[in-house]
Amino acid sequence: MRVFLFLMIFLTGFSLWAQSPHLMLAAGPEWRPEKDLENKTSIHTLSNYALGAGFRDYLFILEKSSFEESSGNAALNVERRLESIMLWGEWRAPAWKAFVPYLGGGLGAYQEIVKTNLPPAPSTTRETSHKMLTGLNFGLQLEIPILWLSLEGRLLFGDELDPQPTLGALARVGLWF
Amino acid sequence: MGISKTFCLGLVLLSLGACSWQKKEEDLGSNSVKVQIPVSENGEYRLEVVELFTLENLTHLQGSAAQFLIDPDSVSGSLKGRHPEIRYIRDNQGVIVAKDSISLQLLTTYAHLEMLQKLDREAGAEKVLSYPRKVAINVAFQNQSESSKDNAFYSGKYDALLMVPFTQPTLPLMVNAGVIAHEHFHALFQKLVIEGLKEKYPENPQFSLHEEGLRIDAKDNKKRTKYHAVFMRGLNEGLADVWGWIYSGDNFFVGRSLPSEKADRELSVLPEQLKSSAEIREAVASGESDRSLLWRSYEQGTQLARTLRSFANQYAVREKRDINQLRLPLAQWIIATLPAIKKDFETLKEDEYLSMSRVVGLFANQVPTLSSKDCTFFSDLMPLGDQPEAFVKRCADLALQQKDPQP
């Protein structure tokens, strides 16, 4: 079912783009909060890379986000990596002053990889299966030629996310032509 | 239906679907769980998957083996603190792996306490301690004689293991199997020796305040009491070091986390002669500082630990057994010795003093197949004049039996 939904969004986006193409290529920081051991919220900064294709008022974006953190000392430490891939469909509203508001939804998956180091013993790397991730976003894009500059808020839902839902943000800089 | 309507419908469906997700909270019930933790095999640490059987709630690490209290406070004489929320993943094979170092340390401590509960049972100390064992994490601890960081303590008052912040670049104390077992032993010593002595020696509150070091009242001029405070502390520490080795198989377990202690606490060193009670009595009578007396406690304790560790080696060679096969019998003999120590203390005459030689004699009584060689080994380590009568008599009987075996 998840694969089917993903393919639906992808194929719809591709067919729309084929009629009157727009392309977007962007990167930027994404901020996602997460509960820590003391149940306090800490903000992680993820590297986010996106490739988009648009038609009329619609934009479909395939993005990859990831971050790494490590904890511990020289004798015992844990390195954790989180990777997510999402496909977003966004509707771009008519321009308001110099901005284009947009909202959309996304579907994808995320995976966590944990490497535990206990030198001189061999390190171990273990990973989760891919867990489903969905999201809703709302943002503003600066309407200028060629350059893509946007800022958006996003609400992510997924297996085992904490907090649930996760309210994050994303800034994007790129090209739009 | 137009594209806009389809798009809006998609967003609504996505929102409804998203709302069905819940925050992760795992109640395990009676199921076991496999976790990846650092495990010691004869002092060599490596990452292994072990199965835990007593964990009931994985997120809060609640189970019948241990109860964690984070940032604890003393409220009306008992420890109160919040429960942890550990961060972990479950990999493709269903193995739980901690996502950060502190979660890993907590998970490992839980696993050690579950395994130590099993050791209690096998060593003959089942039901001596109440479970789940309390473990207080990140304790803010002020004390003149002992460090408020990079240390672990057992509190008799709270019957809890207290962990203060660890700042060294070495194996964290909460992962150190030997250290957890060492502190766990203090709880056994508390229940099997110290608590029973309270009624007879109410003037010795320091016996039950292991975590506060050796606090000796300056007004206390009862040298005999002071001597026994020094002695009991050393005895407790020495036997706890042996317990640390029994559980972990690691001769260097203290130094593995605290390198400054390595030389003083290493157990593979051949034992020196045990200190005589007269030497410690003189130190007490001469008014040595509490810090110096505390050092003497640990020195005596290490001598005892090395004596028992070395005996285990000798016994294993004689019995043609692997040294690791001797770890459980040694635990059983030590547990059987504790009530004997308490009884010996209770029945001391006014002019008598406990000594490490007396304790070794009591221990030797618990070894079912003691040989004359073992007697010689122990005798050589006992200062002249400190050899307990019962031990001397048993060894003399053994020598006769082995010289003229009965038909």
β-strands A99-117, A77-92: how paired?
antiparallel
Contact predicate B382/B357, CB 8 Å: yes
Q: How far is A158 from chain B (nearest CA, A)?
A: 6
What pLDDT is recorded for position B4?
58
Tens digits of residue pLDDT in B42-92: 889 999 999 999 999 999 999 999 999 999 988 888 889 999 999 999 999
Residue A75 to residue B22, Cβ atoms within 8 A: no
What pLDDT is recorded for position B398?
83
pLDDT of residue B201 exceeding 60, the answer is: no
In a mutagenesis test of the B interface, which of A44, A83, A107, A126 is the best target, namely the one with the most B β-carbons within 10 Å? Answer: A126
As a three-state string, the secondary structure of chain B is: CCHHHHHHHHHHHHHHHHCCCCCCCCECCCCCEEEEEEEEECCEEEEEEEEECCEEECCCCEECCEEEEEEEEEECCEEEEECCCCCEEECCCCCEEECCHHHHHHHHHHHHHHHHHHHHHHHCCCCCCCCCEEEEECCCCCCCCCCCCCCEEEECCCCEEEECCCCCCCCCCCCCHHHHHHHHHHHHHHHHHHHHHCCCCCCCHHHHCHHHCCCCCCCCCCHHHHHHHHHHHHHHHHHHHHHHHHHHCCCCHHHHHCHHHHHHHCCCCCCCCCCCHHHHHHHHHCCCCHHHHHHHHHHHHHHHHHHHHHHHHHHHHHCCCCHHHHHHHHHHHHHHHHHHHHHHHHCCCCCCCCCHHHHHHHHHHHCCCCCHHHHHHHHHHCCCCCCCHHHHHHHHHHHHHHHCCCC
Contact predicate A138/A90, CB 8 Å: no
Mean pLDDT of chain A: 90
Tens digits of residue pLDDT in B140-195: 866 655 557 888 999 988 999 999 999 999 999 999 999 999 999 999 999 999 88
Shortest CA distance from A82: residue in chain B: B99
Chain B residues close to A76, C-beta within 8 Å: 38, 101, 104-105, 171-172, 175
Q: How far is A105 from chain B (nearest CA, A)?
A: 6
Burial of A83 (0-12, 13-18, 19+ CB in 10 A): middle
- Interface of chain B against chain A, CB under 8 Å? 3-4, 7, 10-11, 14-15, 17-19, 21-24, 36, 38, 44-47, 70, 84-87, 89-92, 95, 97-105, 168-172, 175
What pLDDT is recorded for position B215?
43
Tens digits of residue pLDDT in A51-77: 999 888 899 999 999 999 999 999 999
Residue B21 to residue A164, Cβ atoms within 8 A: yes
Q: How far is B148 from chain A (nearest CA, A)?
A: 19
Residue B92 to residue A128, Cβ atoms within 8 A: yes
Name the 3-class secondary structure at B123: helix
What pLDDT is recorded for position B205?
45
Mean pLDDT of chain B: 86
Distances (CA, A) of B349 to B199, B228, B340, B344, B352: 17, 13, 16, 10, 5
Q: What is the pTM of this model?
A: 0.87
Name the token pair of B334: 């030590």
Chain B residues close to A55, C-beta within 8 Å: none
In a mutagenesis test of the A interface, which of B41, B99, B102, B176 is the best target, namely the one with the most A β-carbons within 10 Å? Answer: B99
What pLDDT is recorded for position B249?
95
Q: How far is B81 from chain A (nearest CA, A)?
A: 12
Residue A58 to residue B7, Cβ atoms within 8 A: yes
Residue B101 to residue A80, Cβ atoms within 8 A: no
Residue A118 to residue B15, Cβ atoms within 8 A: no
Of B7, B36, B86, the CB nearest to A37: B86
Chain B residues close to A128, C-beta within 8 Å: 89-92
Query: What backbone torsions phi and psi does residue B146 show, to the nearest 5 degrees?
Result: -135, 155
